[in-house]
Amino acid sequence: MEKPINSISLVIDGKQISVPSGTTILDAAKQVGITIPALCYHPKVSRSGACRVCIVEVGGTLVTACTTPVSGGMEVITNSPYVENMRRDLIDLILSDHPYDCMVCQKTGECELQELAYKYSIRNPVFRGERRQYAQKDGNPFIDRDMEKCILCGRCVKICDEVQGVGAIDFAYKGFWAKVCPPFEQDLNCEFCGQCVMVCPTGALIGKNWVARGRYWNMREVESTCPYCGVGCTLSLHVKENEIVRVTAKEGRGVNDGLLCVKGRFGYQFVSSPDRLKTPLIRRRKGGDLEPATWDEALGVVASRLKRVKEQYGPDAIAGLSSARCTTEDNYLFQKFMRAAVGTNNVDHCARL
């Protein structure tokens, strides 16, 4: 049985709100339209309060909004000068060990850290010190892992374990040298679903094929449905100059709610493959090669050959195989063609195979 829900009343930035008990301050704030910045929080994974960026003031003390549950009569301030100064220093600290290469970083414009640096106008970091530098590059073909840009928020570690059930990566080493990596720092060898790339707030995890293929603001986004298995994940196709250069999925859209698998996320290059058929082909004599032809000639040959078979042997001497890969409309028309234009029920597709 579901537990009865107790409602809790509190005040956030002067706004009165009632939420079920157990709700965190961050989620409660969302409901009244207040966005509290956060770098380790992600709705798909468990909370850790690691980045501290979501701090808010409750009765004069600072608490992390993503992990603190609401309580009755609580008064929360999310944007006092005290909170904002503290947040600014936190971002500044994170940036003190971050490569300032936003101008060439693939994540520019989509980077949560960059957005916060922008919001708090951090031009030169106050805290000067050592920077982590790693010579070793991960050789896997799917995901660029630049651990110099990693802020150790742990979203990737958690989504890989909690949502994907893989646990390919975890924190290694300690203190300043703490690092997210596969066991023994080998190259990543996992399901390559790319959920980690989806949740990474910085440019630490990037699709390898996205690099230098364009900025997101120069791309058109088209929502469509994945062409692979029957789950029917909703995709965003990012198009630049008539080419798909990236595929993503959005939270809240479709059955997949932002998740994808390796095929859906990284299997799109076939669309612009040079192997694509570009003209009709005809074998002009038995045993000869397939040669380019015009549509008019090709369709003329198909029509006359089908007609001839139909006249000579009857419509049931013709069969059609349709496709589970084509659209419903293509399939409807194909069977209508076989049944009404050819005159046979010899129409099937690969449902059994």
Partner 1 sequence: MTNSLREIEDNEVLFITGSNTKEAHPVIANMMLKARRKGAKIIIADPRRVPLVRFAELWLQQRPGTDIALLNTMAHVILKEGLINEQFINEQTTGFNDWRASLDAFTPEAGEKLTGVPKGDLVRAARIYGCSRRAAIYYTMGITQHAQGTANVNAVANLALLTGNIGRPFTGINPLRGQNNVQGACDAGCLPNVYPGYQRVDIPLVQQTFERAWAMPLSVRPGLAATEITGKALEGAVKALYVMGENPVLGDPNTEHTRKGFQKLDFLVVQDIFLTETGMLADVVLPATCFAEKDGTFINTDRRVQRVRKAVEPPGEAREDWRVIAELSKRLGYEMRYESPEEIFEELGRLWPALEGITYGRLERGGIQWPCPTRSHPGTEFLYKGGFPRGKVSFTAVSMAPPVERADREYPLVLTTGRNLFQYHFGSMTRRAAPIESHAGKPYAEIHPEDAEHMRISQDETVRVTSRRGSIRLTARITERVRRGEIFIPMHYAEAAVNVLTNNEALDAFSKTPEFKITAVKVERLAQEG
Report if residue 67 touches partner 1, rule: CB under 8 A: no
Kindly tell me which residue out of 112, 152, 237, 250 binds partner 1, with binding defined by CB under 8 A.
237
Instruction: Identify which range of 35-43, 77-85, 113-121, 241-249 contacts partner 1 by CB under 8 A.
Output: 241-249
Residue 236 CA, distance from chain mean position = 9
Report if residue 210 touches partner 1, rule: CB under 8 A: no
Residue 247, SS3 per DSSP: strand
Smaller CB separation from partner 1, 114 or 164: 164
Check: CB of residue 26 under 8 Å from CB of residue 36.
Answer: yes
Q: Restricting to residues 140-179, which ones interact with partner 1 according to CB under 8 A?
A: 140-142, 162-165
Smallest distance from partner 1 to CB 158, Å:
12
Smaller CB separation from partner 1, 9 or 345: 345
Report if residue 205 touches partner 1, rule: CB under 8 A: no
Separation between Cα atoms, residue 270 and residue 227, nearest integer Å: 11
Report if residue 214 touches partner 1, rule: CB under 8 A: no
Smallest distance from partner 1 to CB 342, Å:
7
59-66 — which CB contacts under 8 Å span 24+ positions? 62/86, 63/25, 65/24, 65/25, 65/26, 65/29, 65/36, 65/38, 66/24, 66/25, 66/26, 66/36, 66/38, 66/40, 66/41
Smaller CB separation from partner 1, 116 or 226: 226
Q: Restricting to residues 282-311, which ones interact with partner 1 according to CB under 8 A?
A: 282-283, 290, 293, 295, 298-303, 305-307, 309
Report if residue 48 touches partner 1, rule: CB under 8 A: no
Report if residue 192 touches partner 1, rule: CB under 8 A: yes
What sign for the dihedral angle of Cα 87, 88, 93, 94?
positive
279: nearest Cα among 265, 266, 303, 296: 296
Report if residue 239 touches partner 1, rule: CB under 8 A: yes
Report if residue 1 touches partner 1, rule: CB under 8 A: no
Report if residue 218 touches partner 1, rule: CB under 8 A: no
Other Cβ atoms less than 10 A from the Cβ of 208: the count is 15
Report if residue 348 touches partner 1, rule: CB under 8 A: yes
Report if residue 211 touches partner 1, rule: CB under 8 A: no
Q: Restricting to residues 245-284, which ones interact with partner 1 according to CB under 8 A?
A: 253-256, 259-264, 266-273, 275-283
Six-digit token string for 66: 């993503």
Q: 172 burial class (0-12, 13-18, 19+ CB within 10 angstroms)?
A: middle
Q: Which amino acid is at 189?
A: N
